[in-house]
Amino acid sequence: MEILRQLKRFYASEKKFIVGTILFLVLATGIGLVQPYLVSYLIDSVIIPENYELVAPVALSVVGVVCLKALNQFLHGFCGGRLGNRVATKMRNTLYEKLNTLSFQYYDKAKTGDLMSRLTADLEAIRNFIGFGLAQLLNVFFMVVLGGTMMLVLNWKLTLITLLPVPLLLFLAFRFEGQIHPIFRETRKAMSNLTTAVQENITGVRTVKSYAQEDFEVNKFSERSEQFRSNQIEASTKWATFFPMMETAANLCVIVLFVVGGIMVINGGFSPGNFVAFFSLIWYIIGPMWGLGFHINNYTQFKASGERVLTLLNEPIHIKNEGKALKLDASSTKGDVSFNDVTFNYPDKKPAIQNISINAPAGTVIGLLGPTGAGKSTIIQLLMRAYDVKHGSITVDGVNVKDLDVQSLRSIISPVFQETFLFSATIRDNIAYGIANVTDEQIVEAAKLAKAHDFIMEMPLGYDTVVGERGMGLSGGQKQRIAIARAFIKNPKILILDDATSAVDMETEHEIQAGFKQLMAGRTTFIIAHRISSLRFADEIIVLDQGHIVQRGTHDQLVHQPGPYRETYKIQFADFPGELEVAAGQKE
Ligand SMILES: Nc1ncnc2c1ncn2[C@@H]1O[C@H](COP(=O)(O)OP(=O)(O)OP(=O)(O)O)[C@@H](O)[C@H]1O
């Protein structure tokens, strides 16, 4: 019930449907209890005394009772359906919102398949229980109390004797729930492992195929499928073991009633009509207990799913606005960026960058160079506040990024990453992503600057071409050019080019860089590149190694100093002196 309490905010506003679904079910049950009385009356007051003229009115009463019961059952279903769906929709939207507010740190470890199964299978279990299971569980108590009272009124001694096996039934039902809950929890986990395998396989299908790992993937899936199967089998074995035991315990009540009640009727201490009514009423008690297994199953699934959904909902948000966060006004922001003695490490890892100080006045270009893993991307991630620094500070226009409204900070930054993500949408929508009221002219202009216009126009549908998931159907270089056009459209104060031209050939890189010059004008720019030609014109080039700044200065200064920059320069240009000239030409 703790889970139910924690989920209260999702159903608290649905009081009328909660009351409706419970009330109509209870009414249906209550009306159903009239039936045994009518049967008892039919036998004792109509059939035995041969008052056949009463048959029609009694039969009509039965029809009335049945119709009324059906109406209440319909209303119970109506309210339950509304309730379950409204709660599930609210939860689905809240979960999705939560997924969007969770920080980069969460996604470093998150599994897509697992998250998908929380938003689908788990929500379904919650919808079922809140919509119907809860009302049915409460109805069990109602049936037992009302049915029991009626039996006690008819014959309290017979009632007590008949219900002797009930504690055994209850014991079995609770034992069943205790044993099946962990199995359901494991089943849910196994299900999410399965979805993760499918999702990863589809996302990484090119890698799988290029490495001819289809068999390996199929085996991996089979193992997970096997785990799911064995969890399901374990659950059905428990089910198969406990249900006959519960059925036997329930039938013990019937046997006791037949023996003791039968003797009482023979001895004249109990009327045949009351005996038949008693027989119907006993099912009002043992029936729900019998069904208790099903309801418990429903509840247990809900509990396991609720736990998983709540874990996600309670996940801490690492990056959020603190106190009165300052909203940056894009029009008045200059774009001065400063890193002041920044040290940062990812959770449970050694520092990725140490004692980094960078001063980038508005409009300057900072180049970041260094071997893989040196910490270049980390510097950029920290500027975007993907993570918070552990030591030192980062400021934009003199304000610590921690004091800035996260969304407004990110709205003035435009990153172009090494890997471009394109949505399953038209090229037009991909370029205009996140920006309202963009004209077609602006989109074309941005695409031209990013050298994307020509290849877009070669496609049959031009800007209306829908690119597949993750931009399939486009080459790496084409995707990158769309991402660059996206950055142009955003008109940022701070531009980040994280290996942005890595996927295009040198000639296109030179062409794009001409566009970059226009894009960079008046914006603070951080360029991460492995090619010196991409950042040689920067106002300051920072050379990193293992998280430390090992060299800094302009290209002309660095190229004349012994050190990693000159070594890289020599390697990259020794064989292609012509390239150097072309690159140098970009500066003018
Ligand atoms: N999300 C992350 N979680 C944990 N560790 C990370 C994460 N991202 C980077 N690292 C680690 O931090 C260090 C710096 O990585 P970073 O990506 O900043 O290097 P880089 O210079 O940009 O490399 P590359 O040129 O290959 O992109 C590396 O040791 C890397 O393993």
- The token duo for 14 is 């649905």
Q: Whose CA is nearest to atom 3 of ligand 1?
A: 346
Token pair in block for residue 587: 């500066």
Answer for the pair 173, 289: CB distance below 8 angstroms, yes or no: yes
CA 523/CA 495 separation, integer angstroms? 7
Please check whether residue 550 is in contact with residue 564, taking contact to mean a CB–CB distance below 8 angstroms: yes
How does DSSP classify residue 466?
B
Do the Cβ atoms of 533 and 579 come closer than 8 Å?
A: yes
pLDDT mean over 365-375: 91
Beta carbons of 370 and 541 less than 8 angstroms apart: no
Helix (H) or strand (E) holding 422: none
Write out the DSSP string of 475-519: -HHHHHHHHHHHHHHH--SEEEEESTTTTS-HHHHHHHHHHHHHH
- Indicate if the pLDDT at residue 370 is higher than 70: yes
111 three-state secondary structure: coil
Residue with tokens 């009632």: 159
Q: What is the pLDDT of residues 52-93, one digit of tens each?
A: 888 888 888 988 999 999 999 999 889 988 998 999 999 999
Kindly report the protein residue whose alpha carbon is nearest to atom 25 of ligand 1: 372
> Any bridge partners for residue 365, and if so which?
525
CA–CA gap between residue 218 and residue 223 (Å, rounded): 9
Cβ atoms of 95 and 40 closer than 8 Å: no
Quick one: pLDDT at residue 580?
Answer: 47
Asked whether 333 and 404 are in contact (CB, 8 A), the reply is no
ipTM above 0.90, yes or no: yes
- Pair 319, 385: CB distance under 8 Å: yes
Q: Which of 531, 499, 529, 501 is nearest to 514 (CA)?
A: 501
Cβ atoms of 335 and 395 closer than 8 Å: no
**What does each C-alpha distance from 52 to 48, 64, 241, 275, 552 come to in angstroms?**
10, 19, 49, 21, 109
Among residues of the chain, what percentage have pLDDT more than 70?
93
Give the Cα separation of 18 and 12 in Å (integer).
9
Does the Cβ of 375 fall within 6 Å of ligand 1?
Answer: yes
72 lines ligand 1 (CB under 6 A): no
Burial 487-515 (b: 16+ CB within 10 A, else e): bbbbebbbbbbbbbbbbbeeebbbbbbeb
Q: How far apart are CA 94 and CA 7, in angstroms?
A: 12
For 385, phi and psi rounded to 5 degrees? 55, 45
- Which of 344, 378, 381 for a ligand 1 pocket mutation test, highest count of atoms within 8 Å of Cβ? 378
Domains in the chain, CATH or no CATH each: 2-313 (1.20.1560.10), 328-412+494-499+523-588 (3.40.50.300), 418-491 (3.40.50.300)
CA–centroid distance, 378 to ligand 1, in Å, is: 6
Pocket mutation for ligand 1, best pick of 318, 344, 349 (most atoms within 8 Å of C-beta): 349
pTM of this prediction? 0.73
How far is it between the farthest Cα atoms of the chain?
Answer: 121
- Measured by CA distance, the residue closest to atom 30 of ligand 1 is 373
For the stretch 473-524, pLDDT in tens is 787 778 888 888 888 888 889 999 887 766 666 666 666 666 677 777 788 9
pLDDT, residue 320, reads 84
Backbone angles phi, psi at 366, to 5 degrees: -110, 125
- Take residue 83 and report the two structure tokens written for it: 């309730």
The helix/strand count (H/E) of the chain reads as 25, 10
**266-278: pLDDT as tens digits:** 998 888 888 888 8
Q: How many residues does the chain have?
A: 588
pLDDT value of position 356: 93
Residue owning the nearest CA to atom 7 of ligand 1: 346
Predicted pLDDT of residue 515: 64
Strand partners, 495: 414, 525
**Ligand 1 pocket test target in 105, 342, 343, 376 with most atoms within 8 Å of CB:** 376
Q: Ligand 1 centre from 375 Cα, in Å?
A: 6
